[in-house]
Amino acid sequence: MTDRSDDHDHRFSEGEGFDDPYDEFDLDPPELDVDPSKVDPVDSRIITDTLDEQNIPSDEVDAGELLDVGLNYMGINRFEQATAAFERAARFADDDRLAQEAWVNKGVAHAELEEYDEAIGAHREALSIDDESEHAATAETNLAYALWEFGETAQALEHAERAVEIDDRFAEGWFNRAFFLSERGLSEEALHCIDNAIRLGMRNGKILEEKARILEDLGEYEEAEEIAEEANEMRERAEQRVMEQREEMHGGTPTSEEVDAGPEREWELE
């Protein structure tokens, strides 16, 4: 049988900032340099405000480059810096599509810091630009997750459903909806959703474990056991691949996070 004890074991930053050795590290383009003497470290919006005061012409700022800066910060788990970069990208973007993409990613960065209220606001900003665009489904499913963590479970289900209405081939959206439905005890609907995610190519150990749990809830113990065994086999193969890659690169044993990275629900960066 499967075990739900680890369902909420998220690998999130505590949002306490970063140690002094990193203070001088900066991925930002030089035209956005700000005088440190003017920065209040308590105010997370000070960089954007200072830039506005300087009235930097938008044609001197590459919003696409700022978006890449934010993604690079995300890649090294510097989520606070990422939120600032994404907000700047959104504010300087002269293209709605790029601005929407920046707001979606800003929401993801806030959620990694467990700043769910800010994440909700960012995803709603994205949807206010265009609620039918290519980024709208991603914004909806990420908004659903942030609302869920914020305790707004009914709204979360509504937005999870909206995500797959916008794009019925959005595998991550189907998986997230399956998780929310399962947590509400709506196991039959959850099974339908997770099967859709699998049919759309989202098949890994985490997905299969969730399906096994749903089958257990439905009393389908034999099938649940088979799926759980397949999930374990996939995890073992993934662990072996990571170990081999790590040994080839620099030796050592991978952590459990390296073998099976990612939160229980699927975030979607743009």
Does the pTM exceed 0.85?
no
Contact between residue 209 and residue 178 where contact means Cβ atoms under 8 Å apart: no
Separation of alpha carbons 67 and 87, rounded Å: 9
Give the pair of three-digit tokens for residue 113: 């810091």
CATH classification code of 12-152 = 1.25.40.10
Separation of alpha carbons 201 and 164, rounded Å: 15
Same fold, 12-152 and 168-270: yes
* Predicted pLDDT at 5: 42
> Taking each helix axis from N to C terminus, what angle separates 136-149 and 116-129, rounded to the nearest 10 degrees?
160
Please state the domain extents for the chain: 12-152, 168-270
Is 3.40.50 the CATH classification of the domain at 168-270? no
| pLDDT tens sequence for the chain (270 residues) | 544 444 443 322 233 333 333 333 445 555 444 444 444 443 444 444 444 444 555 556 789 999 999 999 999 999 999 999 999 999 999 999 999 999 999 999 999 999 999 999 999 999 999 999 889 999 999 999 999 999 999 999 999 999 999 999 999 999 999 999 999 999 999 999 999 999 999 999 999 999 999 999 999 999 999 999 999 999 999 888 888 888 887 655 555 555 454 445 555 666
